[in-house]
Amino acid sequence: MPSKPRVSEANDKPVPVTTSLEPEYHDQQRRLYREVLGLLNQLPVPYAVSGAFALQHHTGIWRDTKDLDLFLTSEDVGRALEALAAAGLECKISDPVWLAKAHRGEFFVDLITGMSNAVIVVDKSWLARGAAAVVVGVETKVLAAEELIASKLFVTRRERFDGADIAHIIYGTAGKLDWDRVLELAAENWEMLLWALLLFRFVYPAQTSYVPARVWDDLIGRFISVIKNPDPKARFRGSLIDERQFAIDIEEWRLDNVLAEYRARRNSKLPSLIADRTAADEKAS
């Protein structure tokens, strides 16, 4: 009889209740965020704030968080980590494909270069398109709404699902988005975008027009075409959604491990500075 899979305690945390009330940040937390934003502004390292602060900027929804999420390119992660380490923060590469962390005490700053499945990657255009904002009293940029949507397309796990965030972004912006940019960012993953838009339509049927008719026509037209003309050689993509829930497909049913391929390609392109720091972290541990 197979053993029962272990579930991390983090997965048992209750889903936060949406609210327009700003949380009360700990003084140490606020100081850390201000310090990090100030350091990166001075270097300067191109970045954009994501996470709870970007969501609030575009939707008015506040979310309590112990992390400050910063998006930047992989080419700039090494320089940012050097500056943060010099300022006394503890830094490490959590996943060389997409995530580094810096922290002081119990509060963290996440340096994010793309999605964990390596399908969507941050490039300079993401940062150039950032929207001016003030975060914890510091003038900065948050991700533009289009990039924020793209960053959430694959957050579809059992323990975390960002479909409601996407629906709120579309509703909060009244659909005033660069839809060509959204389609560009989704690229070959357009079915994930259609899935998110169908959820929006279900939740806000009176606001269906927030998604332009041409976008509906485009995506639904593509969908009808692939349904009528299925590709018998199309590869299994479940691991891009959730490698745990679809583990049996790969490990026992021997279907394609597309996730491993995406991550391997992404890992091979990391700058040597990040690779060197990762090796040092692993040796120290």
Instruction: State pLDDT tens for residues 55-103.
Output: 999 999 998 888 999 999 999 999 999 999 999 999 999 999 999 999 9
Residue 17 pLDDT: 84
User: What is the C-alpha to C-alpha distance for residues 236 and 175, in angstroms, rounded to an integer?
Assistant: 32
Measured distance CA(48)–CA(256) in Å, rounded: 34
Q: How far is CA 15 from the centre of its chain?
A: 18
Residue 7 pLDDT class (50, 70, 90 cuts): very low
Residue 189 has pLDDT above 80, yes or no: yes
Domain ranges in the chain?
A: 18-284
> Nearest to residue 114, comparing CAs of 274, 285, 284?
274
Residue 158 has a pLDDT of 87
User: Which residues have C-beta within 8 Å of that of residue 199, sequence separation ≥ 6?
Assistant: 163, 164, 166, 167
Distance in angstroms (rounded) separating the CA atoms of residues 267 and 118: 9
Residues 105-111 have a mean pLDDT of 94
Percentage of the chain with pLDDT > 70? 88
Higher pLDDT, residue 130 or 24: 130
Between 17 and 189, the more confident residue is 189
- Give the model confidence (pLDDT) of 248-279 as tens digits: 999 999 999 999 999 999 876 555 555 555 55
Spatial distance between the Cα atoms of 258 and 238, rounded to a whole number of angstroms: 8
**pLDDT of 67:** 93
Do 264 and 112 contact (CB within 8 A), yes or no?
no
* Whole-number percent of the chain with pLDDT over 90: 82
For 67, residues 6+ apart whose C-beta sits below 8 A from its C-beta are 51, 107, 108, 109, 110
Rounded to the nearest 10 degrees, what angle do helices 179-186 and 213-228 cross at? 30
Tokens of 61: 């929804």
For residue 235, the model assigns a pLDDT of 97
Average pLDDT of the chain is 91
Question: Is 281's pLDDT higher than 90?
Answer: no
Given a contact cutoff of 8 angstroms between Cβ atoms, the answer to whether 137 and 44 are in contact is no
Q: 4-8, 22-26, 218-222 — which is least confidently predicted?
A: 4-8
185 φ, ψ (degrees, to nearest 5)? -70, -35
- 281: its two tokens: 């972290």
> Is 285 a residue whose pLDDT tops 90?
no
Residue 172, pLDDT score? 98
pLDDT the model gives residue 5: 39
User: What are the Cα distances from residue 25, in Å, to 19, 22, 29, 54, 107?
Assistant: 15, 9, 6, 16, 11
Predicted confidence band at 9 (pLDDT cuts at 50, 70, 90)? very low
Q: How confident is the model at residue 283 (pLDDT cuts 50, 70, 90)?
A: low
pTM across the whole model: 0.90
The architecture CATH gives domain 18-284: 2-Layer Sandwich (3.30)
- Using left for φ > 0, alpha for ψ between -120 and 50, and beta otherwise, residue 3 falls in beta
Contact 133, 141 (CB under 8 A): yes
Mean pLDDT of 38-66: 95
Alpha-carbon span 96 to 266, nearest angstrom: 9
